[in-house]
Structure 1
């Protein structure tokens, strides 16, 4: 199973530069997708509808939990790898991570207050949560770009692609099944057709059949029939119509 993509470093000639392994592509597409969908849902939420409020805040909490896990994975694996060969090489994004933990705690507190609030207070509190979540998303988008440029440059300078693939596999092996399914649910719809085929084709070849089927079941409802058919043909699975919700 692979969720990485080979790309060319910025500033090199495509005719001469070898493609390098980029571990950030897939997971960052998943996070951007999850963040934008959740921001959109918080913004359009009806705070007077208890069901809509609970469903939206449930997705919000799922996003916060995945963000916390993602920070830990980057600290424990990617930053550790950078620091092993370039001390202080990950300091900028490591400092960002400290701030992200604090921001997540503050957002969770706002969400809990909204859930407990009186109906008359909810519109104001919902709008405040929406605006603060938007700032968190904006900050994370900038942060991810630093990782995809500066951190990748450091990794590429000190590690070969075989070493980076081993690191990538160790990260994947550390994920519990539920987290893997959630990441795939957001990653696959956000990826290009070629990336989808690469990710799921690699998983089909290397993962247990039951685990692979669980991932297919998780992503199918979020691909329209055209996208599902293209993917099914690419990875050699049955082309039954998907259940599209176009998210």
Structure 2
């Protein structure tokens, strides 16, 4: 049986899919006349749009440059989609500011966010199929991990925390244990404990027991 290659997209895309789906549902049931609810959901939408913008920049800077170096033109189609996504994000931000006390604006935000999520689900699938194929053809797994580590090294603590919050609860038990096992070996103890404290309330009892058993905690 062939050993699976390292998938640079797997975990961050799981987190993004979960965050997008959660936020879309929240916007779909939003009461535009409830100021407190609008404030909370608006913050969630802004956080989603911020992480999407940041993710696009990371892919352009780190992954696409690596692909371009070994196979020029391989990421041209997806780069054009990234430009379109940036325009969609700007439009969503504009709509979001018009939601308070405006049911029509809230419905418009919901529909446009739904389109944005649909486009991104298709887009991420394309990256996982086509871009991974290019990376695997031209780079070793160690080289791909080095690209991934360069992305992580340039992240702010705030972006890392948000990514971890959405990635870890939506991984399989073995993926979650593998990531946290590696983190325990390389990260400061207080950081590892902080991540456990962050995700424990987000995991069901069964998932937490599986993680505890795998990590021996």
Shorter-chain TM-score category?
Answer: over 0.9
Gaps of 5+ in 2: none
**Structure 2 length as normaliser, TM-score?**
0.97
Aligned with 2:163: secondary structure? Answer: helix
Q: Quick check: 1:84 aligned with 2:64?
A: no
Runs of 4+ with >3 A deviation:
none
CA distances 1:108-162 after superposition (whole Å, capped 9, x unpaired): 00001224xxx3xx21111110010000000000000010000000000000111
Structure with the bigger percentage of helix: 2
- 1:97 corresponds in structure 2 to 82
Mapped contact 1:181–1:214 kept (Cα < 8 A): no
Q: 1:45 deviation in Å?
A: 1.3
CA distances 1:16-60 after superposition (whole Å, capped 9, x unpaired): x33211010000000000000000000011112111111001100
Pick aligned residue for 2:45 from 29, 40, 60? 60
Distance in 2 (alpha carbons) for counterparts of 1:148 and 1:233: 31
Pick aligned residue for 2:140 from 157, 160, 173? 160
Gaps of 5+ in 1: 1-14, 238-247
Q: Quick check: 1:40 aligned with 2:25?
A: yes
- 1:106 corresponds in structure 2 to 91
**Structure 1 length as normaliser, TM-score?**
0.86
Distance in 2 (alpha carbons) for counterparts of 1:100 and 1:209: 38
Distance in 2 (alpha carbons) for counterparts of 1:87 and 1:96: 17
- 2:105 corresponds in structure 1 to 125
Which structure exhibits the higher relative contact order, with contacts defined as CA atoms closer than 8 Å and separated by 6 or more residues? Answer: 2
Q: 1:236 deviation in Å?
A: 2.4
Q: 1:69 deviation in Å?
A: 0.4
Distance in 2 (alpha carbons) for counterparts of 1:228 and 1:209: 19
Q: Quick check: 1:140 aligned with 2:125?
A: no
